[in-house]
Amino acid sequence: MIIIETFKGRSITEHPVEIVERKGTGHPDYICDSIMDAISVALSKEYVKEFGTILHHNIDKGLLAAGRVYKRFGGGRVLKPIELFIGDRATFRAGGREIHVVDIAIEAAKKWIRENMRFVDPERHLRYRVVLAHGSEELTDIFLRPGKIRGANDTSAAVGYYPLSPTEKFILELERYLNSKRFKDKYPETGEDIKVMGLRRVDALDLTVAMPFLANYIKSEKEYFERKEIIRREMVRFLGKFEVFKGKEVHFNTLDEKGRGLGGVYLSLLGTSAEDADSGQVGRGNRVNGLISMNRPMGTEAAAGKNPVSHVGKIYNVLAHKIAMEIYKEIEGIKEVYVLLLNRIGTPIDRPQMATAQVLLQRGRRIGEIAKTAEDIFEREFADIYKFCMELSMGKYPVC
């Protein structure tokens, strides 16, 4: 069933208060989400290569347990490695052949670390505990049934929206800039574990940013605070490009306090707080559009690592944002779109129990003028869902 209705609330930009968060590349929660999804992608590729189809797996139970390090100005050493727990379900054997699930999972995790964390050695700084098990007969049987379109292996709902507000765009772009190769080449002393919290009050943006400095690059407390001010000014300069905000403030590493030595500075040995301060867990990080937006509706499913061809907790989470974007871009006179999707376990994923678009229209536009076109977009996207799922299985769409 498809329903197109008028959104009854105000545009996000008309709210006097807006709060948006982004957890960056080196945040333990982001690491968990990214690695578990990388494992799902790697397993999907192996299943397709060996059997021509994606088999049952859900790699969406992951935990990053913090290690322990010794830090000082100028360096330090790892005392206890970080532990990565990789859990839930996978297919280990099919058609009389073994699938080396554990090896694939560990190698996918190591590959992600090598490509994204400059100072984390996946061989020395992490320990891997794979606690994946075989799936239940009923859920595994979904993948033995005829046809390309799978039945949903869970009853689940999802919500997506478009477009991003100026606040959301800026929070996303700032973290991506601070973790870009260009920025890290210029400021190699900064770590990847970045958290950006934005508070917009009317047209004033107040930012709180946490980003560690790497101990190997910082020789003293004095140098730390000198480099900190340089980086803060760089963020202010970047913020200056967004003229929509009249007032702008940047608060950077606000727990710091001069005169307290190592106790008053945010130093890291490896670039992530998972080294000794903070653990991570799948589902506690960004939503699939890369943000945690408090003013927007948010689903509760952890999309990362879920099966890309049968678990609507993943498929519909990403697809809801995609459909919202398509409706917004293809139909004139729309301010915002919210898409809600629901399916029942066992029902084919291309036949949702409910698909709804809540549309905030510009003045003068009526819902009857756009409803048929919006319905056509829904039907087109669900008719093409097999292609979408295969793209999802190859990692085309980020989930954090």
pLDDT tens digit sequence for 31-57: 999 999 999 999 999 999 999 999 999
Burial, 222: exposed, middle or buried (Cβ in 10 Å; 0-12, 13-18, 19+)? exposed
Domain-embedded: residue 151:
no
Lowest mean pLDDT, pick from 61-70, 133-142, 374-383: 133-142
Tell me 210's DSSP state: E
As a whole number of angstroms, the distance between CA 357 and CA 378 comes to: 9
Q: Considering the entire predicted model, what is its pTM?
A: 0.95
Domain-embedded: residue 282:
no
Q: Are 224 and 267 in contact (CB under 8 A)?
A: yes
Q: Are 69 and 278 in contact (CB under 8 A)?
A: no
As a whole number of angstroms, the distance between CA 356 and CA 4 comes to: 6
Residue 266: domain span: 12-23+165-276
SS3 content of the chain, % helix, strand, coil (to 5): 35, 25, 35
At which residue do the structure tokens 């589902």 appear? 283
Asked if omega into 163 is within 30° of 0 (cis), the reply is yes
Q: Are 81 and 126 in contact (CB under 8 A)?
A: yes
As a whole number of angstroms, the distance between CA 202 and CA 324 comes to: 25
pLDDT tens digit sequence for 261-305: 999 999 999 999 999 999 999 999 999 999 999 999 998 899 999
Number of domains in the chain: 1
Domain-embedded: residue 248:
yes
Domain-embedded: residue 159:
no
Domain-embedded: residue 355:
no
Domain-embedded: residue 239:
yes
The CATH number covering residue 256 comes to: 3.30.300.340
Domain-embedded: residue 260:
yes
Domain-embedded: residue 252:
yes
Please state the rounded mean pLDDT for residues 149-173: 96
Q: Is the pLDDT of residue 317 over 70?
A: yes
E-state strands within 225-310: 247-252, 267-268, 280-281, 292-293
